[in-house]
Amino acid sequence: MPSVPPSSNLFRAADLMNMVERYLPEEDSRRVYAAFVLADEAHDDVIRKSGDPYITHPLEVARILAEMRMDGETLCAALLHDVIEDTDHTEADIAAHFGPVVAKLVDGVTKLEGDEFANKQEATIASFQKMMTAMTDDFRVVLIKLADRLHNLRTLGFKKVASQRRIAKETLTIYVPLARRMGMHHMRRNMQLLAFQHLYPWRSQILRQSLDRYLDYNREIHKDILDTVLEATRKQIPGSLTFIWRKNPFTIYERIKRYGKRFDEKREILEVRVLVGTADECYRILGTIHGLYHPKLNGFFDFIATPKTDGFQALQTTVYTPSKQAVRFQIQTRTMYHVAQYGITAQWRYPDMHSRQKAKITQDSLDMWLDQVRELGLKADSAAEFYTDMKADMFLTEIYAFTPQGEVKEFPLGATMVDYAYAIHTELGQRCVGARIDGEEVPLRTRIPNGATVEIVSDDHATPQPSWLNFTITGKARSHIRNWLRQQKVADRLLLGRKLFDQALHNHNSSLEAVDQDNLTMLLQTFKLENLDALFLAIAQGEHCSRLLSQRLLGGSAAFTRASEKADGEATPLLIKGTDGLLIHFSHCCYPLPNDPILAHLNPDKGLEVHRDNCSVLEASVEPESILSVAWAEHDESTQHFLAGILTQAHNVPGVIFHIAELFEQMKVNIEEVTTHGDNSIKETKWIIHVNNLEHLNEIIRLVEHVPSVIRVKRLKAKAVDKEEGSYFRD
């Protein structure tokens, strides 16, 4: 545990005010001091685990922000950021003394706690959503939170080991990516190093030692390269600055963990930075470096012409020296460098007009991201879903792809064509059906290759598919897909509920249009349903029975009296199509097909579950009174496919399964699943295939029977057959 620093080394209010008074107007400086006084009184007699007075923490947070030359409102909120959470003061108290803006900033960083959360993790997730929502109104909320987290990391050694690991892991998961999205790479790097030391102290130490050995081993080689580059760049651009970039142990650790390659002290790439005055000079230096060393193929990125999403600008190129040493150069103007290190705060830290102009790129990027955060918040179904989407959205960028117009897009490693489509435009994502990589057609689940040009193929009639959630990883794509599916599910439930209720009324020679509206209103009031849509949803979700509701609605009417003697077999069937939406589920125990006699029952999770009328699973698992009468509606069977099952029994000779599969290919029949079992002489195989209808299946069975070595073929029965020991073909 680190020793407690002497009081003379503690940062005090006088030091903060000396910094603040150098750049803030007198009135703002007075407000900052008043905030310190209130915070000092509120936290009086409270001691941190380090042994320091608690007020040292908000003072340090304010100092971190004062070093960025942040405004008076931000500094006041930094000094008061724990007052609502830890003392009796309220948001209204702060608003009365310092105005509503400061009060909202403080409330934005105040964590949620209370009995309404099941555990600390749930409270943390809800607090994160609250902070990010507040950030969309005023991004300074996140600056205060980042400064707060940075100082907590600096004093993390005073906490228990379990707390150190929890806070360090949370930092790497949320706050490091958050700093990156704000373009604040200097803070990101500091947080990474501190969190890494506390999360994996031994690994951190080993990597630091490896880095020291790497520097010692390559000292002369690096000096020769640097001297060569210095001479060439200064001759081209007098006053240019060239230096070796210190490597980050945490990013090396992440690389080792991801790719499984050990740190090679002899072959590690050298990182060099070159700073000049103008963008034109950046390109001139690039030419100079490529004249010195051989550039690596596909190793050049122009982030000046096409800045990254966080506003980062630079020319990046990787070259090889005659001794085969790989060197990665990053060429920037000094302003680009400042903006890259301090992000959105660079315009305050370096308040000259040129920096402000360059920081506008970062501000524009931030504004776009804030719009996306608002959108994720609106579409998320819960705080946990928002938290998951935000984590996906803030992944470190690994992949760069280009639009056909040459615009660069950034993606996390593993992103697919659907992620790309949503990144271009939400509507394109909703309508995408395919993609082309460098002109070659690829499936939507294909991962984005680095440096490729990607074009999305769309169809105005296409819609998002549930399967996309299996391979999309960006928060934006997943959020939009889930939201669309939720909307469709509600729409499908409404339609299904209406159909079921209408069917029940038709069985009593009535309809929704014919029922007495006063009786219908009374029915809704009796069951505390707001409107007809609420009624339909309740029916589709299995909360109310359409038959009982219809009887209650028509119980006293002539229509009900006339129909009361109607036999069950005469019930009006519910007509369904193969494309009736997400809530029509064709059971996999019996695989019903068009032209099969069918029955159904209402499954609250899956919707209407359709079975063949002789399905043993339906008979065994559903009460007879819950079985619904259904029938196939007319539809275009040539454009629709249904799953069906067949069983083949064949002699166990080489090639028999291949010949059956070859026949399916010739018939353009897609195979979904194949399962084989049996002894050395006879093999029995279950084939799950896509067919158009019952006639199509019968034709397939007839042709498979003529495949050499096939003994018997039959349609798959209900799942009860699978429970038999031995052969599928037992009756």
Return the HEC string of 177-213.
Answer: HHHHHCCCHHHHHHHHHHHHHHHCHHHHHHHHHHHHH
What whole-number distance in Å separates Cα of residue 187 and Cα of residue 310?
Answer: 14
Q: Under a CB-based contact definition with an 8 Å cutoff, are residues 306 and 319 in contact?
A: no
Active site residue 41: no
Active site residue 85: yes
Chain position carrying tokens 């299996």: 470
- In 3D, which of 214, 220, 194 has the Cα closest to residue 263? 214
The structure tokens listed for 591 are 């695989």
For 18, what's the count of Cα atoms within 13 Å in the CB-facing half-sphere?
5
Helices (H), ranges, 110-265 = 120-137, 140-154, 161-170, 176-181, 185-199, 201-217, 219-236, 249-259
For residue 208, what are the contacts with CB-CB under 8 A and spacing of at least 6?
Answer: 249
In this structure, the chain runs to a length of: 731
What whole-number distance in Å separates Cα of residue 357 and Cα of residue 368?
Answer: 17
Q: Under a CB-based contact definition with an 8 Å cutoff, are residues 705 and 713 in contact?
A: yes
For residue 324, what are the contacts with CB-CB under 8 A and spacing of at least 6?
Answer: none
- Which H helix or E strand runs over 477? helix 475-506
Q: Under a CB-based contact definition with an 8 Å cutoff, are residues 400 and 301 in contact?
A: yes
What whole-number distance in Å separates Cα of residue 446 and Cα of residue 416?
Answer: 5
For residue 217, what are the contacts with CB-CB under 8 A and spacing of at least 6?
Answer: 265, 266
Neighbours of 130 (CB within 10 A): 18
Pick the catalytic residue from 44, 67, 86, 568: 86
Dihedral sign from CA coordinates of 429, 432, 434, 436: negative
Pick the catalytic residue from 28, 85, 265, 613: 85
What whole-number distance in Å separates Cα of residue 201 and Cα of residue 389?
Answer: 30
Q: Reading across the β-sheet that carries 642-651, which strands appear in turn?
A: 671-678, 682-691, 642-651, 710-715
Neighbours of 680 (CB within 10 A): 6
Q: Is 28 helix (H, G, I), strand (E, B) or coil?
A: helix
**Exposed e or buried b per residue across 137-153, where buried means at least 16 C-beta atoms within 10 angstroms of its C-beta:** ebbbbbbbbbbbbbbbb
Neighbours of 99 (CB within 10 A): 13
Q: What's the Cα-to-Cα distance from 34 to each of 71, 101, 109, 144, 323, rounded to whole Å?
A: 15, 16, 20, 18, 62
Catalytic sites, residue numbers:
85-86
